[in-house]
Structure 1
C-alpha cells in the first residue's frame, strides 16, 4: 500500500505554480515513498501522484501563471526537489530521473495547448486571412460600451443592446437610441443582455429583451434573468410585458445565461445560468429555474408538451437542466436541432445539442476544474448525462453562436461560429452532420467577441467589446 504524508497547509502551490488550494479540508495528501509501476505512463503517474492536488484534467491544471517557470528544466526541478515552504513536496525518491523527465514533458503538452491561444499583438490591419478565406472588417457601429446582443429586421435594420442598459437601432451605419427599456442591474455580468425579433415582426412589431432584473429586499438587492416582450414604435418601446422571470432571485451578479432563439414552430428558447450556485440550482427541478434552458410560446405561455411538470401536473417552462452559464443558442437550419454553448469553470467550456428533458451534467460531470484549483467532480461522463459535442481546454469563454447558410462565404458554408471572450477571436467549427470535425481560429485578437450573427444580407456580423467596442461586418476579399 502507498504511504501518505499529510502536510497541514492551506496553500499548495503545486509544480512551480502559485495556487490557493483547500483540498481535503486544508490538507494536501501527497504520495511519499511508494514507487510507481515500471510500466506506468506519464499520464498515469500524473493521475496517481498529482491529480489529488492539481485536478484530474492536466490541461486545465496548466492554464495558469507559472511562479517558478514552465520550461522542461523548471518543471523537472520542481517535481524532483519540490518547494517545501509552498506545500510542494519533492518526488526524488518516488520517480527516477527518466520518469521525472517524461512527466515534465507530459505537462509541457498541456502548456503548449494553452500557448496556442497566445496570438500575436493587436492587429494593425482590418484584413484577416484564414485557411480558406480572407475577409475584411467593415465597421457598422461604434461608440458602444459593451454590445451584448444583435438582431435583424428583414430590411437589414439592426438592434444592438448595450449591457449598461441602452438599446440602439442601427441603419446605414447610424445608430439611434430606443427608449423605454426596462430597469436593469448593470453590475458584474448583468445588465441589458440579448435581443431577438419576433418571426412575424412585419405584422406585430414585437421584439424581446433579456436582462438582469433587480429586486430590493431587506437583505439587499437581488436579481434574476427576465425577458420582456415589447412593440417598437418610432424610437420607443411600448406595451412592454414581462413574459419570463427565472426563480429564485439571487444576490450574485454573474451567470445569467440570457441567450434567446426562436425555432421554426415559433417557440422561444431562453438560457438561464446557475448564478454561481452549482451545488443547488442546476440539478434541482423543484421550483428552481436556474441553470437550465426554457421553452415558452411567444406570449410567455407554456407549451403543453414541455417535458417537465409541476406537482399539480401542469407543464413548466423547463426544457433541459444541468447547464452552467449558457451564452450561445442557435437552431441548426439543416436539422432543426437546438445547439448551445456554455461556459465551464477553468476548462470544460461546452457545445451541446439540446434535447427535451435531458440532463447536461453540471456539476455532476465536467471537463474543467474550479478557479481555485479544486476539483469539482472526478467524472467527465455518467449514466443519464448528455455528453457535449465539443469541449474546450483551456476555456475560451464562448459567447454568441450562429450557423452559416450563406453563399457569401462558400468555404465556410454549413459551419457554426462561436465567439471567444477570453482569447478574443471567432471560432469556426466545421461540421459533418452533427459532428464537429475541425476548428479554425478567425479574427485573432480582434477583441472580446460577445455576439455573432448572420444577417439577412448573408453577411456575418460580430459584436466586439474591447479594446474598441464596435459591430463589424465581415466582407470577403476576392
Structure 2
C-alpha cells in the first residue's frame, strides 16, 4: 500500500505578455494532485521506464537495475559491468516497442576502453529477473578521460529506430566535429545497424549514426508518436539550459553559440546567441534548471495535461510543465519547487500517473496522482 504524502505544490506560470503569476496552493493551473512516495533507498537512481504490464525498470548509476512492481523493487541480474564515476555509470533504459513479444530492454551506460571511457548502448532479453542474450550494439568512437557529459537518453521513433543522446564529454569543440560522436544525437536500428535514411549514412568524414550535432549534454528526450516530433532538454554552461525541437541533420550550435556563459570567465561564447546555420532553442532557462528527464504527457489521469511536456530539474529541484501549441511554447508552470529534490527522470505509467526519480545517495521513486484518487 502506497502511503500518500502531504499535497505538495509550488506553481508559477509564464504567459506571453503577462507577469509571472503564483498558482493557488494545492493545485496547479489545471489539476490538483497528491505526491506519493513509491519506494526509497535507491543509490543515485537515473532512469525509470514502464513496461506494458504496468511494472517498471529503474536504473541506479552505480550499475544496478530493478523491476518495480507496485512499491516492491526486485534486483535484475545479467547486466554488464559499467564504469561508474562522476556523472557516468548505468544510465537510461527503454523497452523495445514490441517488448510484449520479444522482451528486449535497451540500456545506455559508460564503459571503459582505449583512451578512457565513453557511452555505449546494449540490449538483452528480460526473463524473470535476469537479462539474457546480452549484446552491445553501439559505442561512441572516441573515448576520453574525465567523468562529465555522457548524455544519455534513449527513445524509439515511430519507425522502430532508436535515438540516443551523447554528451560532449566536457570538451565542447567535439560537438562541432561530425566525425566524433560526442555532442550529438545518434539514430540506429534496433540491432545497432545504420538506417539508410540517416542524414549522412555514407558521407566521408561524418559518423553515419549522426542525426543532429552541436548538442552539449542532452539528458531529456521525448518523442510524439503521433507527429514524430522529437523534443530534447539540454544542459547549458552557466545558464542557457535549452528545450529543442530536434530535426535531422541540424546543428544546435554548441559551443559556438549559447544563451549561457563560461563557468570560469563569465564570458559569452564566440558567436554569442545566434549564428547562421545553427538552430535556436524553443526555450532557454537562466538561472539553470539543469534539465534531466522529459515526458510528453498523453494519459487519462490528468486530462487537461494531455499534450504537455514535463521536464525534470536537478539544480532547479522542480518539474517544468510546458504547454505546447504545435511546435510553439505558449506557457510554463513550475511544480514541486524545492519539494521533491533533484529530479533526474520522469515517466508516465499506463494508468496515467506521473512518476519521478530523485538523484541522491538516498534516492526515491515518487508519483503524482490526481487529488480525487484519495
TM-score computed with the length of structure 2 as normaliser: 0.90
- Contact 1:223 1:251 survives alignment (8 Å): yes
Mean Cα deviation higher: 368-377 or 127-136: 127-136
SS in 2 for 1:258: coil
- Contact 2:181 2:207 survives alignment (8 Å): no
Aligned residues: 349
- Contact 1:303 1:315 survives alignment (8 Å): no
Distance 1:409 1:334, change over 3 A: same
Q: Does 1:457 pair with 2:351? A: yes
* Partner Cα separation in structure 1 for residue 70 and residue 306 of structure 2: 26
In the TM superposition, 1:72-471 aligns within 5 A as 125-128=6-9, 129=26, 130-215=28-113, 222-279=116-173, 281-286=174-179, 288-311=180-203, 316-372=208-264, 373-445=266-338, 446-466=340-360, 468-471=362-365
- Contact 2:50 2:348 survives alignment (8 Å): no
**Structure number having the greater helix percentage:** 1
- How big is the shift at 1:444? 1.6
Provide structure 2 residue ranges, at least 5 long, that are not aligned to the other structure: 10-25
- Contact 1:176 1:235 survives alignment (8 Å): yes
- How big is the shift at 1:458? 1.3
Kindly provide the CA deviation profile for residues 113-159 of structure 1, in whole angstroms up to 9, marking residues without a partner as x. Answer: xxxxxxxxxxx834433233221122222220111011111110110
TM-score computed with the length of structure 1 as normaliser: 0.71
**Structure number having the greater strand percentage:** 2
* Partner Cα separation in structure 2 for residue 427 and residue 376 of structure 1: 26
- Contact 1:333 1:403 survives alignment (8 Å): no
SS in 2 for 1:411: helix
* Partner Cα separation in structure 2 for residue 385 and residue 423 of structure 1: 27
Report 1 or 2 for greater relative contact order, CA contacts < 8 Å, sequence distance ≥ 6.
2
Match of 2:14 in 1: none
- How big is the shift at 1:466? 3.6
Provide structure 1 residue ranges, at least 5 long, that are not aligned to the other structure: 1-123
- Contact 2:121 2:139 survives alignment (8 Å): yes
Q: 1:476 aligns with which of 351, 366, 370?
A: 370
* Partner Cα separation in structure 2 for residue 431 and residue 351 of structure 1: 12
Kindly provide the CA deviation profile for residues 155-200 of structure 1, in whole angstroms up to 9, marking residues without a partner as x. Answer: 1011000011100001021111001112111111001000000011
Kindly provide the CA deviation profile for residues 369-427 of structure 1, in whole angstroms up to 9, marking residues without a partner as x. Answer: 01112332342111111111111111110000001112211222211000000021111
* Partner Cα separation in structure 1 for residue 353 and residue 201 of structure 2: 41
* Partner Cα separation in structure 2 for residue 241 and residue 207 of structure 1: 11
- Specify the structure having the higher radius of gyration (Cα): 1
Distance 1:315 1:377, change over 3 A: closer
* Partner Cα separation in structure 2 for residue 304 and residue 337 of structure 1: 20
- How big is the shift at 1:472? 1.2
- How big is the shift at 1:347? 1.0
* Partner Cα separation in structure 1 for residue 337 and residue 239 of structure 2: 20
- Contact 2:6 2:35 survives alignment (8 Å): no
SS in 2 for 1:282: helix
Q: Could you say what the CA RMSD is over the residues aligned between the two structures, in angstroms?
A: 1.7
Match of 1:25 in 2: none
Distance 1:441 1:467, change over 3 A: farther
- Contact 1:225 1:272 survives alignment (8 Å): yes
Kindly provide the CA deviation profile for residues 445-470 of structure 1, in whole angstroms up to 9, marking residues without a partner as x. Answer: 11000001111121111111248511
